[in-house]
Amino acid sequence: MAETNNNLIQGKNGLWEIVMGLEVHAQISSQSKLFSGAAADFGAEPNTQVSLVDAAMPGMLPVINAFCIEQAIKTGLGLNATINLKSVFDRKNYFYPDLPAGYQISQYLYPIVGSGYLTIDLANGQSKKIRITRLHLEQDAGKSIHDQHPHKTYVDLNRAGIALMEIVSEPDLRSAEEVAAYLKKLRMIMRYLKTCDGNMEEGSMRCDINVSVRHPGGNLGTRCEIKNVNSIRFAQQAIDYEARRQIDILENGGTIEQETRLFDANKGTTRTMRSKEHAPDYRYFPDPDLLPLLLKKEEVQRLKDTLIELPDAKKQRLIDQYALSAYDATVLVSEPEIATYYEKLLSKKRDPKVAANWLIVELFGYLNKIGKTIVESPISPEQLGELVDLIGAGVLSGKMAKDVFVEMAETGQAAGQIVSKRGLQQVTNSKEIERIIQQVLQSNPDKVAEYKSGKDKLFGFFVGQVMKASDGKANPALLNELLKKALS
Amino acid sequence: MTESLVNLTLVQALDGLKKKSFSSVELTHAYLANMQQKRNLNAYISETPDKALAMAKQSDQRRVKDMVGLLEGVPVAIKDLFCTEGVKTTAASRILENFIPTYESTITQNIWKNGAVLLGKTNLDEFAMGSSNITSHFGPVISPWKHGSDRNKKLVPGGSSGGSAAAVSARLAVAATGTDTGGSIRQPAAFVGIVGLKPTYGLCSRWGIVAFASSLDQAGPMARTVGDTALMLQAMAGYDPQDSTSVNTQVPDYFAALKNYSLRGLKIGIPKEYVVPGMAPEIEKLWQQGMNWLKSAGAEIQEVQLPHTKYALPTYYIIAPAEASSNLARYDGVRYGLRIPAQTLDDMYELTRAAGFGREVKRRILIGTYVLSAGYYDAYYVKAQKLRALILQDFQEAYKKVDVILTPTAPTQAFGLGEKMSDPISMYLNDVFTVPVNLAGLPAISVPVGLSSDKLPLGLQLIGKPFGETTLLQVAHQLEKNASLKNDPDLGE
Amino acid sequence: MSIDHNTVKKIATLAKIRLTPEEVQSYGQELQQILKWIEQLQEAKIPNGVLPDPSMKTELQRRSDQVTDGGNTDKVLLNAPEKAYDFFCVPKVVE
């Protein structure tokens, strides 16, 4: 848990520490929107996924999506958080063309999920607990397009009303690396739970970063909120820029104004969006179209009971159960699909380390080369398992197996098929190997005499000769054993 | 023939249709003719004669096949706050002057499913904000009733459902729908001598009704008799999964419950807090008369306390405008309704809303915005919500002792057009007896029981327990029998 | 409670309603009057523990996660004051 000093930034007059908290907007994976029956898919033609409710037609009323409630609870449980049995939907009032009702339905005073935490893993091998303040449900806004016409803004309401979870952290983050680790961990947890696909390119996960700087151990500085950061790389850029900007101001005797800033992805900078004085007055009040959301304890318990194993727990189990290294375990749990692949690989009794190696080194290497993900892998866990089994049974040597692997990936054929087609079986028949050994010894009587007179090094020569005579198919271990016997 | 057809109550009209004494088309023609004759009342914003006749014709065809709904063939009027598919729906506002919904409200769907015929959309106070129907963009509605000593004086029909009230009273519709946020069904019903019922919050769906104040709005029937009202309510009420505040409950047979009932032993509460300064003495007298009638019918009269009553009006005038300020934010000139073109977005918003809303609506939006704004929210909105809880508690306490509460509907008879305009508050005070009911989400009915010395109708209000509509209708039915009024503005009696 | 003209203007801006100088004056007076009347609430004694809850205590209805709506672009855009290429159009927003 210790904080390393690596995070500190050297300034003109001393060291600075960055203090950050995140507000992440995660789109809930669901078929339909939070309060309407329109589809929540990405990339549809403009205004095709809009119900009369989403367009805020007169007299239209919201009805909540039960699945979205479950998704928020599951995410809360995944973040070790309190689930509030009573929460309230409020209206956040402001005018904007892509906010049809003139208010966003959100949760202000009483969110569905209270405080929790997640643990981030850092490059130096340490881990750190980041406290979660709350998670609440809210609607997304539509999309305003400003660059299609010189004097007009175009409005598409497909996104309006899609369910979001806003996940707010405490100001526990101290570096761009920690922020990246936090975002990755949060995304990993939501992907495991299938509550959010975490696809930042499609906007299904966006974040606002609250940044302030201080001298280590000093009081918290004035913070600026950086809006709409939509990739982990941008988050790092934005933080680097913003921290430097604030330190420069302070070191030149200035003060930080509390404000909302916008990240400019083209320039890698942040700029003022609005100052605190111009902070909008949202006039929050409970939405009278919706009653308070009451959850039953049993309902939460049922979701808790059916919660799948999350990455941290899974990692620990892989280490305990299979004696894997922390590194291997971390890689295997990094995405739920990889973990699933690995566990399928081990659904038959196989050497966990060998299996992990083949997955992490060979399969990932190959997938990387062809630019595909584990889900699109041309080799199924069953197929890779067969290969591992052939190695385990001594049918294939490691080197032979690699050739077979490539052919499997390229042709889709099973390992056994390739082996028998190419006659690749190792020779494990002792009689056959003994026959070859006798041949080799008989053709090299002088070398045999030298060996017997004490020139042990010649053993390697005999191994090579036998291997060559067997076209490389002799089982190395067996060969060793039989050769020793023959020369003794 | 024509005149006598429009004088039939809903129950009588159904009987005539059943006996084939006349067809729905004939009945509809009679109403359309009367509507044409009495356009000076300005009761309708849109008349839909073609649609009416087409629907009547279809109803007559269904009648032949014996496929008969609760309101089969009966021509009704719909307050222009209910969205009707393909029929202009304005909320009496310039901002929705040309709005044509592509959808039909749940309540009107229910009514059409039961065989009724649409005569047109009735006038109202803009966005249902008012108690006199003078805030309509389409001009005020004139009450069909004449002041006894000043026959030329134009009277208000009350509001906000003034068009529906005037239409039912003047025989321009058999019955009508209204909405009631603070008295908008009951007060106009009392002013024009008809029956108006505000159901328990959640009994009638709000889906497709232009919202004023969501936690208070409730649709309800307006008709000439208690029996007609029961039938209308039965057609309208029911659970709607599209309205999160709709209550999933079995709708009883309200009409059948009027055939045979006894009020013996029923406890009627009289809240002393409802004796307010400025209440007309003849209204107090009529209230007493009502108690006597119910006593004779076997009911017991008992005093009850509703100590927070005096806070109801100011509480209402915080909560209703607050919700309205948010509900009316959608009228922004972007997706439908009026737009005043402008160079910048903010100009477009501000000019559109300045031109689209009338003075009373703007006043309430501004008040609502103010009470929700930073620094005032706790002092106004939260305080009002707590008082609302206390007002509800008052009723809950009272209902431990009594079954129904009897009060006047309004402190005065109908006033003249242009009166009470000097300041907004004097108009707000007209809702003093009706507003607490909305705050508590309870059902209440206004039933005409007498005429003032000026020959104008006066009504009494019965307030019930949640989902106590059946009892309310029964007690109202008793009062109606005792009063035995003709309720005909043309006769003046 | 007093409402000055700046407050009236601020509220009107929040509510996106343009007021003329005369309207600022007249609405100011009316709001002042109404708020003064509403002030009587301040004298009301509210016992501890009273929650500012809506009156109805029924359970919030939930719907199942199914696509039941959408695909009605024409209906959605039918009443639009200005549209192009199936988008709503507004004066350009400068951020």
- Touching subunits of A (3+ CB pairs, under 8 Å) are B, C
The identity of residue C85, as a single letter, is Y
Listed by number, the residues of chain B in 20-79 with a beta carbon closer than 8 Å to a beta carbon of chain C are none
Q: What is the pLDDT of residues B381-393, one digit of tens each?
A: 999 999 999 999 9
Q: What is the pLDDT of residues A59-87, one digit of tens each?
A: 999 999 999 999 999 999 999 999 999 99
Which residue, among A467, B389, B365, has the nearest Cα to C23 in the 3D structure?
Answer: B365
Q: Is the pLDDT of residue C56 over 60?
A: no
Q: Closest to B201 (Cβ–Cβ): which among C15, C56, C90?
A: C56
Which residue, among B397, B407, B388, has the nearest Cα to B201 in the 3D structure?
Answer: B388
Q: What is the pLDDT of residues B204-243, one digit of tens each?
A: 999 999 999 999 999 999 999 999 999 999 999 999 999 9
| Angle, helix B312-327 to helix C21-38, in steps of 10 degrees | 140
Q: What is the pLDDT of residue B27?
A: 98
- Which tokens go with A172? 């526990």
Question: Is A95 close to B335, i.e. CB distance below 8 A?
Answer: no
Q: What is the pLDDT of residues A262-304, one digit of tens each?
A: 998 888 889 888 888 788 899 999 999 999 999 999 999 999 9
Q: Is the pLDDT of residue A4 over 70?
A: no
∠ CA(A440), CA(A445), CA(A446), 5° rounding?
Answer: 125
Question: Is A153 close to B245, i.e. CB distance below 8 A?
Answer: no
pLDDT interval class at A1 (50, 70, 90):
very low
Q: What is the pLDDT of residues C10-45, one digit of tens each?
A: 999 999 999 999 999 999 999 999 999 999 998 888
Q: Which of B143, B160, B164, B169 is catalytic?
A: B160
What is the percent of chain B with per-residue pLDDT over 90, rounded to a whole number? 92
Q: Is the pLDDT of residue A191 over 80?
A: yes
pLDDT interval class at B186 (50, 70, 90):
very high
Q: Which of A55-64, A170-179, B122-131, C51-60 has the lowest mean pLDDT?
A: C51-60
Question: Is B362 close to C38, i.e. CB distance below 8 A?
Answer: no
Listed by number, the residues of chain C in 1-30 with a beta carbon closer than 8 Å to a beta carbon of chain B are 3, 7-8, 11-19, 27, 30
Q: Is B446 annotated in the active site?
A: no
Q: What is the pLDDT of residue C57?
A: 61
- Rounded mean pLDDT of B81-94? 98
Q: Closest to B322 (Cβ–Cβ): which among A57, A64, A285?
A: A285
Q: Which of A228-237, A331-340, A465-474 has the lowest mean pLDDT?
A: A465-474
Domain boundaries B2-264, corresponding CATH code: 3.90.1300.10
Looking at residue A359, the DSSP 8-state letter turns out to be I
Q: What is the pLDDT of residue B124?
A: 98
Q: Is B326 annotated in the active site?
A: no
pLDDT interval class at C2 (50, 70, 90):
low
pLDDT mean across residues, chain B: 95
Cβ contact A128:A174 at 8 Å: no
Kindly write down the DSSP assignment for every residue of B374-415, as one continuous string.
TTTHIIIIIHHHHHHHHHHHHHHHHTTT-SEEEEES-SS---
What is the percent of chain A with per-residue pLDDT over 70, rounded to a whole number? 97
- Rounded mean pLDDT of B472-479? 98
- Which tokens go with B426? 């004097």
- Which tokens go with A279? 């902070």
Residue with the larger pLDDT of the pair B430 and A120: A120
Domain C5-43 has CATH 2.60.120: no
- Which tokens go with B338? 């009026």
Q: What is the pLDDT of residues A152-172, one digit of tens each?
A: 999 999 999 999 999 999 999
pLDDT interval class at A99 (50, 70, 90):
very high
Between CA B440 and CA B368 the distance in angstroms is 20
Question: Is B424 close to C33, i.e. CB distance below 8 A?
Answer: yes
- Rounded mean pLDDT of B73-88? 98
Q: What is the pLDDT of residue A88?
A: 94
Q: Which of B59, B93, B184, B325 is catalytic?
A: B184
Touching check for B337 and chain C: CB below 8 Å? yes
- Rounded mean pLDDT of A332-337? 90
Q: Which of A372-381, A463-472, C80-89 has the lowest mean pLDDT?
A: A463-472
Question: Is A290 close to C60, i.e. CB distance below 8 A?
Answer: yes
- Rounded mean pLDDT of B87-113? 98
The overall longest dimension of chain A from CA atoms, in Å, is 104
Dihedral Cα B198, B204, B208, B209, nearest 10 deg = 10
Task: Give the N- to C-terminal CA distance of chain B in Å, as an integer.
Answer: 22
pLDDT interval class at A404 (50, 70, 90):
confident
Q: Is the pLDDT of residue A364 over 70?
A: yes
Secondary element (H or E) of residue A272: strand A269-275
Q: Which of A330-339, B440-449, C49-58 has the lowest mean pLDDT?
A: C49-58
User: Looking at domain A430-487, which CATH architecture does it have?
Assistant: Orthogonal Bundle (1.10)
Q: Is B426 annotated in the active site?
A: no
- Which tokens go with C5? 């003209």
Q: What is the pLDDT of residue B468?
A: 97
Dihedral Cα C85, C87, C88, C93, nearest 10 deg = -100
Residue with the larger pLDDT of the pair B117 and A478: B117
Q: Is the pLDDT of residue A38 over 70?
A: yes
Touching check for B351 and chain C: CB below 8 Å? yes
pLDDT mean across residues, chain A: 89
Q: Which of A218-227, B98-107, C10-19 has the lowest mean pLDDT?
A: A218-227
- Rounded mean pLDDT of B324-342? 97
- Which tokens go with A278? 């111009």
Q: Which of A189-193, A412-416, B183-187 has the lowest mean pLDDT?
A: A412-416
Extended beta strands in B146-235, E state: 175-180, 195-198, 218-223
Kindly write down the DSSP assignment for every residue of A298-358, as one continuous string.
HHHHHHHHTPPPPHHHHHHHHHHHH---HHHHHHHHSSHHHHHHHHHHTTS---HHHHHHI
Residue with the larger pLDDT of the pair A58 and A468: A58
Q: Closest to A294 (Cβ–Cβ): which among C59, C68, C86?
A: C59
Q: Is the pLDDT of residue B70 over 90?
A: yes
Domain ranges of chain A: 5-303, 309-421, 430-487
Other Cβ atoms within 10 Å of A322 Cβ, number:
17
Cβ contact B446:B146 at 8 Å: no
Q: What is the pLDDT of residue A3?
A: 45
